[in-house]
Structure 1
Amino acid sequence: MIEIKPWLKHYPEEIPASIEYPTDSLQSYLIKSAEEFPGKPAIHFMGKELTFREIRESAEKLAAYLQKLGIKKGDRVAVMLPNTPQAVIGFYGILLAGGVVVPTNPLYMERELEYQMKDSGALAIITLDILYPRVSKVFHKTDLKHIIVTAIKDFLPFPKNLVYPFIQKKQYGIVVKVKHEGSNHLLTEILNKPATDIEEYPIDFDEDLALLQYTGGTTGFPKGVMITHKNLAANVLMCNRWLYKCRPGEERVLGILPFFHVYGMMAVMVLSIMQGYKMILLPKFDPDTTLKTIQKQKPTLFPGAPTIYIGLLNHPDLNKYDLSSIDSCISGSAPLPAEVQQEFEEVTGGKLVEGYGLTESSPVTHSNFLWDRPRIKGSIGVPWPDTDAVIFSLENGERLPPGEIGEIAVKGPQVMKGYWNRPEETAMTLRDGWLLTGDLGYMDEDGYFYVVDRKKDMIIAGGFNIYPREIEEVLYEHPAIQEAVAAGVPDPYRGETVKAYIVLKEGATASEEELDEFARKHLASFKAPRIYEFRKELPKTAVGKILRRALVDEERKKLQEDEQKHA
């Protein structure tokens, strides 16, 4: 008989197996924090600070304006912004108006933006002045009725607010001036007006959507994940219990993870608003700026992704900065190499652990313990409170015992309602309450889980199942390697063969022969990469996740072109 939830015996007494969830809307937490910590800084952004009271007042003004424009309960409103105060105000303003937030990547080009706006049926979008030309080109092809425009300078302190437009012109080569008229609205004009009453809509905590969060779309078209108030609030409350040593109203959270991704939204924005933490926002990841910000602002919490930690560790002047304020980091979005974990903890003196989740689970389901328990090398940890996880057989769908590899499935209050307007795909992904993750893994006897790879990323070479993550873990141990990704590329003899894409550390050298010898010392010969390609950088998502599929697609395209040449 398979033991049910064996991981619970490892929980420290501070973490409960189950949590009671208040049926409060997400926006209610902003109102509560503004009452409890009115004059406390909620946001630090490039030298300017805003209090919880100011964030609430601005969000309420925006909510009233959105309702005046005709936004009603359940209407979708997009937010196409980097991590700025406007992104926080936009998120809570939309919720206070009764709307559903559609987070949108500021890097989206017109085709991607048009698809998301059409699919979501968004009626309004909040965006930056420099993104306005892109938005305006798709405006009439979608259901959009209003564009609310803001600028980075709008929330900068004097004299940065005067200087920034010149920096922006030099960087992007454009100056965009939008007037507050017609379907165009300026956020500064909205926030300069006196507050008016907001019509309050009753919120069904279990059923009403807070977010329509689009998946990355690395395979096929992006899908809108329907995340309810309960899904996101439950995951934030779980996170809060996991971080049981953190003090309400005291912590400072480094906000590099983008808010248009649900991990950054949950682990930085909503957690900080709920707990009265101060967010230190950076609109993009730049190692120089990040190190200077850490030294000056002294964040205590640093949710991140492996590529962010790697980027800091490989900065040539790392030893000139004091990073000792950092106490706790949960890494997500991609596997965390053991070498990176160890080195980052040595540099900061804090704890860095790997977590696991996906957009469809709002997003976190598993994590290693930060304190009072040993971390297990290579493990994504154990399920969070109220979260169940099992391994299902790929052959017959039966539940597998410890040690056997199958598909990881999860169940809990953070699991999505389904995919927007895609009942068939919802039925394929949600089965009897279980969310099928598409990840291959196993559970050990103690209830710790391990991801061996994405179902779609598994390499089958010469009849062997090969998991890229195992190869990457080995490559990361080589002292010259900064980043590595392994992928299966077409091979006429083996079906697929293993190719490694390598980014070397600055000033480091390594040959293909040297890496091949190193890999074969640690891996069975059928797993060792047969091809190595050295690159200056690897394609990544906005959260820093390496796009393995993009590399595989490149290889397939090359193969097709070669075949056409020789046809």
Structure 2
Amino acid sequence: MGLPALRTKLIADADLGAGNVLAKLREHGVAPDEPTITFDVEVDGHPAWTALTFGELDERVAARAAWLQARGIGRRDPVAVYVTSAADVFLNFLALTRLGAIPALMNGNMPGDVAVEYIQRLGATGVIADAVHAPLLGAQPVFAAAETGTGDPGAAPEHFRHHADDPIAITHSSGTTRMPTPVVHSHSSLFAAIRAIRLTEPRSHEPVRHMSALPAAHAAGIITLHQALCNRYELLCLSAQGGPFGHNGAAVVDAIERWRPTGVFGFAVTWAEIAALDLSGRDLDSVRVWFNTGDCAHEAHVRKLIAIGSHPTWTREGMVTVPGSRFTDGIGSTEMGHSAFHVTHRQGSEHYDRCVGRPYPFADVALLDLSTGRPVPDGEVGHVGLKSPTLAPGYWNDSVNTYRNRLDGYYLTGDLMYRHDNGCYHHVDRAVDAVDLGDGQWLYTALTEERILARCPDIRDCTVVARRTATAVDTDVLLILAPGADPTIDRTEQIRAAMGGPAAATVRSAPVVQENDIVLGPTGKVRKFLMRQRHLAATR
């Protein structure tokens, strides 16, 4: 079946959602020998770096569904998945949804003691864990991930029929302090953006090969998998290998050279790591576009990425390939399900300063004054409120926070933005990280970091840590230097100049630190709450 006909059928199928993509593709005639997903690890004897056909993928999922059903797993059972490889995440996710169970996908970098408490809070029926993670769980009953693929595919039950509101996954936030928050996704919510935009967007004239460096256990990882399957894109899913918090830049660059993707998905931390590398002599011309979600990416990192790769363009001589790629930024969160905003950067574009672009058509965005519940005018910073079919229904076993984050029908994302009069939105900070300086002045840590990196080329990355004393606000800017930068130089005045305004007057110091001095969560996001506690306690 041709792709246009398949996409037309999928769009028209009201029962299609995030819980039954494989079953619906089979129903609508995808050929068993069509290539689908490639993993960087062996799958049940199938070699790494070699695509599974649709038939092979379906069979491997069916084997796991049969194995899990034989051990009592069924409808509405929450089952934790605590593994390393993307293959173990996705194949067990697909198998559990076939049974009508609820896979609770856990980032493999979650510390063992946190994982044990998290699983207990879930009330999980069981835990699928690999050989690395099972010993961390103590007496917790474990299903061995290496055994789940040994079931009889022929014994797998028919696919469970999901209702639009049925829970089909639990993923988690990065954890502001210590304990990640479990977020529920429904059959309709986690597929809404694919239905609204990904199945209708124009198909490239050339083969599409996407590579995902996203954590497989994240909502964005599931969406990337589903949009590739439904659009018949080739997809390589990298596992959490190469760095203490997932993929380091070098591992991703190596994979690009090996697999030659046209598009690469990742979080902001991935681009920061790639931008820190010497990319001269690396063969990255296959990349047409970089896709970011999670935190807004920094201008300093985006500019380095769009300078590499290539893109086709029309000339008088016809279609030619020229240097330079695109970077599509889509700020999002676990609770948002899919990013609500999008902006594309390319060489020559200048919409930076944490510009996140415009909302997608499916997203109703309001910037709210929490004291009145009313929208703020253009140019004024407000709390982001979102109404969207992509939103997660709530938090698992936590009604208090599910409803606390709602206001006048909007979900409060925890972000602070302002809207420019040209219709574009600019992200300035997370609400919990912004510091009130008084007299209507604020220190926005994310915007401050953005401006420092844009103006100080010898600084590779930085983290702003601010605290309020009895009489003032003290700010330390922790600097990670670019390769070759002189660590003995005092950059405090340079930092103040980059910050400008009342925020500059709060700067106490700008010390050079090492990467392991920065407290990160499982996805590589800086835990600023803990940084404030630990760093400021040490410098009193």
Per the shorter chain, which TM-score range?
0.7 to 0.9
The structure-2 alpha-carbon separation of the partners of 1:397 and 1:121, relative to structure 1 and needing over 3 Å to count, comes to: same
Confirm or deny that 1:315 pairs with 2:272: no
Paired residue type of 2:70: K
The partner residue of 2:474 within 486, 489, 497 is 497
What is aligned with 1:366?
341
Q: What is the Cα deviation at residue 212 of structure 1?
A: 1.5
Distance 1:242 1:468 in 2: 38
Q: What does 1:27-426 align with in structure 2 at a 5 Å threshold?
A: 27-33=19-25, 35-46=29-40, 47-49=48-50, 50-135=52-137, 137-139=138-140, 144=141, 146-150=142-146, 186-190=147-151, 193-205=152-164, 207-219=165-177, 221-238=179-196, 240=198, 244-246=202-204, 250-266=207-223, 268-283=224-239, 284=241, 285-316=247-278, 318-348=279-309, 349-369=324-344, 376-377=351-352, 378-426=354-402
**Bigger Cα displacement from structure 2, 277-286 vs 39-48:** 39-48
User: For each residue in 1:338-370, what CA deviation from the matched residue of structure 2 results, as whole angstroms up to 9, or x when unmatched?
Assistant: 122122101122111321121111131111147
Q: Are residue 23 (structure 1) and residue 15 (structure 2) matched?
A: yes
For the aligned residue pairs, the C-alpha RMSD in angstroms reads 2.6
Q: Which runs of 5+ in 1 are unaligned?
A: 1-18, 151-185, 563-567
> Conserved in 2, the CA contact under 8 Å of 1:33 and 1:276?
no
Alignment partners' CA distance in 1, 2:264 and 2:201: 12
CA distance in 2, matches of 1:30, 1:264: 16
Aligned length: 494
| 1:242–1:480 CA distance, 2 compared to 1 (3 A) | farther
The one of 535, 541, 547 equivalent to 2:521 is: 541
What is the CA-CA distance between 1:372 and the residue it aligns to?
13
Query: Structure 2 vs 1, CA of residues 130 and 469 (structure 1 numbering), >3 Å: closer, same or farther?
Result: closer
Residues 1:514 and 2:491 are matched in the alignment = yes
Alignment deviations for residues 140-175 of structure 1 (CA, whole Å, 9 cap, x no partner): xxxx5x41332xxxxxxxxxxxxxxxxxxxxxxxxx
Deviation at 1:32, TM superposition (A): 4.2
Aligned residues of 1:503 and 1:535 also touching (Cα < 8 A): yes
Shift of 1:29: 2.0
1:480 Cα deviation from its structure 2 partner: 0.9
* 1:195 match: secondary structure: helix
The change in CA–CA distance for 1:539 and 1:521 in structure 2 (over 3 A counts) is closer
Q: Please name the residue that 2:4 is paired with.
A: none
Q: What TM-score, normalized to structure 1?
A: 0.81
Tell me, yes or no, if the aligned pair for 1:459 and 1:498 is still in contact at 8 Å. Answer: no
Shift of 1:210: 0.9
In structure 2, relative to structure 1, the CA distance for the partners of 1:26 and 1:525 (3 Å cut) is closer
Distance of 2:302 and 2:31 partners within structure 1? 34
**Aligned-pair distance for 1:245?**
4.3
Is the Cα contact below 8 Å between 2:82 and 2:129 reproduced in 1? yes
Is residue 434 from structure 1 mapped to residue 410 from structure 2 by the alignment?
Answer: yes
Distance change >3 Å, CA 194–CA 386, structure 1 → 2? closer
For 2:194 and 2:153, the matched residues in 1 are separated by 32
**1:255 and 1:282 in contact (8 A); partners too:** yes
* 1:149 maps to amino acid: A
Query: Any idea what the Cα deviations from partners look like across 1:250-301, whole Å, max 9, x if unmatched?
Result: 42121211111222232x3222222222222322313333222212211112
Supply the AA of the counterpart residue of 1:503: I
- Give the deviation of 1:371 after TM superposition: 8.7
User: How does 1:458-497 map onto structure 2 within 5 Å?
Assistant: 458-461=434-437, 464-477=441-454, 478-494=456-472, 496-497=473-474
Equivalent position of 1:443 in the other structure: 419
Task: Tell me, yes or no, if the aligned pair for 1:26 and 1:229 is still in contact at 8 Å.
Answer: yes
1:5-20 paired onto structure 2 within 5 Å: none
CA apart distance, 1:109: 2.6
Q: Deviations over 1:161-195 (max 9, x none)?
A: xxxxxxxxxxxxxxxxxxxxxxxxx13433xx352
Q: Which amino acid aligns with 2:527?
A: L
Report the Cα distance in structure 2 between the residues aligned to 1:369 and 1:332, rounded to whole angstroms: 12
Moved more, 92-101 or 48-57: 48-57
CA distance in 1, matches of 2:220, 2:94: 17
Tell me, which stretches of 5 or more residues in structure 2 are unaligned? 1-10, 41-47, 242-246, 310-323
Tell me, in whole angstroms, the C-alpha distance in 2 between the residues paired with 1:221 and 1:291. Answer: 32
Equivalent residues of 2:289, 2:327 under 8 A apart: yes
Question: Quick one: structure 1 residues 380 and 195, their matched pair in 2 at CA, closer, same or farther if it must change by over 3 Å?
Answer: same
Alpha-carbon distance, 1:199 to partner: 4.3
SS in 1 for 2:184: strand
Aligned to 2:320: none
Residues 305/432 of structure 1: CA separation in 2 closer, same or farther (3 Å cut): same
Whether contact under 8 Å (1:124, 1:148) holds in the other structure is no
SS in 1 for 2:195: helix
**Which residue identity lines up with residue 539 of structure 1 in the other structure?**
V
One-letter amino acid of the structure 1 residue matched with residue 422 of structure 2: D
Q: Output the CA distance in 2 between the equivalents of 1:373 and 1:473.
A: 19
> Could you tell me how far apart the structure 2 residues matched to 1:500 and 1:262 are?
32
Distance 2:521 2:502 in 1: 31
Amino acid at match of 2:225: M
Return the alpha-carbon distance in structure 1 between the equivalents of residues 117 and 495 of structure 2: 45
Structure 1 residues 516-550: Cα deviation after superposition (integer angstroms, max 9, x where no partner): 23531551253353211211203323333222222
Change (3 A) 1:376 1:526: closer
How far, CA to CA, are the matches of 1:292 and 1:223 in structure 2?
A: 33
Question: Which residue of structure 1 aligns with residue 534 of structure 2?
Answer: 554
Structure 2 CA distance for partners of 1:431 and 1:472, relative to 1, 3 Å: same
1:519–1:247 distance in 2 versus 1, CA, 3 Å: farther
Q: How much does 1:202 deviate?
A: 2.6
Residues 199 and 231 of structure 2 are in contact (CA less than 8 Å); yes or no, is this contact kept in structure 1?
A: no
Letter in 2 for 1:25: G
